[in-house]
Amino acid sequence: MTMKLTTDTDYLSVEFNAPFIKPNVGSWDSDWDRVHLFLADDSHKLTELRFTELGSTLRLYWAPYNVLKTLSPGDDAKFQGSVKVTDNGTRLTGKAKVHRSLLPPRITLVNAASVHPANSSTSTLEYDNMYSITNYGIALPD
């Protein structure tokens, strides 16, 4: 997966290109092929951008596990996004533009991930992360 982030005074722009694989066997959910971008600050404020072949969404978490808002393109002019399947159905590409008011005030943590089947003959998922997640536990403040 490749992902490019650029900023101007008011917006974060995101462009990505990731593998897209539909398995020929077993049950398949289009939500399996997805790309995430996570932007967080030290106080657990998190913005998640999520892209699937069905579209893009933005979620704001202003505390661990507390979804403050979920947006799709068209819900709010401050979030725009588009996704498409390209290259004969083998790549998922997309773009998004996010207003700074939908981002944590001081971003200190960033991660991105592409989730897709390992190949077309299995529904076993493969995770390509910018930074590997080695500790699945989240330490919550007192």
Give the domains, in start order, of the chain with CATH numbers: 2-120 (2.60.40.1190)
The string of pLDDT tens digits covering residues 25-68 is 665 566 668 899 999 998 889 999 999 988 899 999 877 678 88
For the chain, give the mean pLDDT.
86
Residue 96 has pLDDT above 90, yes or no: yes
| Minimum mean pLDDT range among 13-17, 51-55, 62-66, 86-90 | 62-66
In 3D, which of 96, 130, 115 has the Cα closest to residue 33?
A: 115
CA 140 – CA 131 distance, rounded (Å): 21
- Start-to-end CA distance of the chain, whole Å, equals 37
The token pair at 94 is 């997309």
| C-alpha span between 117 and 32 (Å, rounded) | 7
Averaged pLDDT for residues 75-94? 92
Give me the pLDDT at residue 130, please.
Answer: 87
Question: pTM for this structure?
Answer: 0.85
Q: How far apart are CA 3 and CA 17, in angstroms?
A: 7
Residue 39's pLDDT is what?
94
